[in-house]
Structure 1
Amino acid sequence: MTPHFELRGGVRHFNHAGPARLPRLLDCEVACSQELRVELAPGSQVGESLLSVLERCRYQSAVGRVLWGSACTLAYHRMVTTSDSQRPYDYGKPVVLTGPVTFISGALTVGRDASGAPLLHCHAGMLDSLGQQHGGHLVLQRVVVGSEPLVLRLCLFEHVAYQVQPDTETQFNLLHPVLKEAS
């Protein structure tokens, strides 16, 4: 297997298996957006509850932050090395945490799948009940709010949808911004 990192100017760069796609920055400008503060109640299931809130909003996509809160149980993934030269890294088995888990931060994206249904994507950092640090891709359908509310801040966009599309360079399906009409 070929090495997937190279050192250039003292900085380690990852080499993806597919052809380079430059520039990597994809963006769209929007004329307006809507800010939303969401407070999920203790005991609620995060993915289901967040989708329920968003059901009442007019938007195509959203980005946001986990401001504070806790979970009584959650699952997250971290990247692991594979033996596949075309996709040398993939999500590993879920890590499950129970007991009070305190969120440090998190970045949330609400995109759309191929059929246009909302798709939640979140990376977060947290502390377990022993104070150990954890972080990775949250499985929001497996996160249950703990004894204090989970507070999120979202920015909703009407005319841009983050749609799942294959990415030839990374060999992953990524969220790409696409101009759309509001739903």
Structure 2
Amino acid sequence: MTPHFAERAGVRTFIHQGPPLSPRRLDLEVPYSEELRIVLPLASNVAAGVLKALEGRRYGSAVGRILCGGAAHLSYHRMIVTDKLERPYDYGQPVALDGYITFISGAITVGRDAQGAPLLHCHAGFLDRDGEQHGGHLVLDKLIVGSEPLVIRLCLFEQVAYQVLPDAETHFNLLHPVLQEVS
């Protein structure tokens, strides 16, 4: 099948080349979670700050939001059209921004790599110093907090770890929730 857009109940939907994974949305309930509010100060590296806040805590994975704040520097990727039939969209080259950058919103997932180490993933929207809107996949280890603190809320949970697994439908490696035994 050739990847294409289709109209479904008035919504433009992209149909990938691979077989659809059903159900796409996976739901797992956990008996315990911990809410964490992280405030990162001026000039701090966001990836390092989040990982430091998670040190010593018991969790399988986490999800959260960038609530407010700014950046002095960041790098992000947007999706681009490719000439590859099996993967018609992919991340483009990184876009770097410097100066006063204000966050509108951001969604963070803390997953696990093959060795069990934390893996950070974030998509966000933000305004540059001229008020122009930007958005995409943030490179958190290149994100430096600006002149106002960056506030992040995370919900940590055990028994489920988001792990990177290949996805036959999209031809991307995606974070999938994997049930784990309590240690």
Which TM-score tier does this pair reach, normalised by the shorter chain? over 0.9
Separation in structure 1 between the aligned mates of residue 8 and residue 28 of structure 2, nearest angstrom = 30
Q: CA deviation at 1:56?
A: 2.5
- Residue 58 of structure 1 contacts residue 182 of structure 1 at CA under 8 Å; is this kept in 2? no
* In structure 2, distance between residues paired with 1:99 and 1:114: 36
1:34 is paired with a residue whose SS is strand
Q: Deviations over 1:72-104 (max 9, x none)?
A: 000001100000100000000011110010001
Matched, 1:66 2:60: no
Could you tell which deviates more after superposition, 172-181 or 3-12? Answer: 3-12
1:116 match:
116
Q: Distance in 2 between matches of 1:53 and 1:8?
A: 42
RMSD: 1.4
| Amino acid aligned to 1:178 | V
Paired-residue identity, %: 66
Matched residue type, 1:44: S
Q: Does the CA contact (< 8 Å) of 1:60 and 1:182 recur in 2?
A: no
The 5 A counterparts of 1:13-162 are: 13-162=13-162
| CA contact 2:3–2:88 (8 Å) conserved in 1 | no
**What residue number does 1:174 align with?**
174
- Cα distance change on mapping 1:150 and 1:88 into 2, 3 Å: same
Distance 2:49 2:114 in 1: 22
CA offsets, 1:97-148, max 9 Å, x none?
A: 1001000110000000111110000011100000000011100011000011
2:165 maps to 165
Letter in 1 for 2:149: P
Contact 2:62 2:157 in 1 (8 A): yes
Which runs of 5 or more residues in structure 1 are unaligned? none
Runs of 4+ in 1 over 3 A off after TM superposition: none
Q: Distance in 2 between matches of 1:65 and 1:124?
A: 9
TM-score by length of 2: 0.96
Unmatched runs of 5 consecutive residues or more in structure 2: none
- 8 A contact 1:75–1:143 mirrored in 2: yes
Q: Is the 8 A contact 1:77 1:136 kept in 2?
A: yes
C-alpha spacing 1:7/1:160, structure 2 compared with 1 (3 Å): same
Normalising to structure 1: TM-score of the pair?
0.96
Partner SS for 1:122: strand
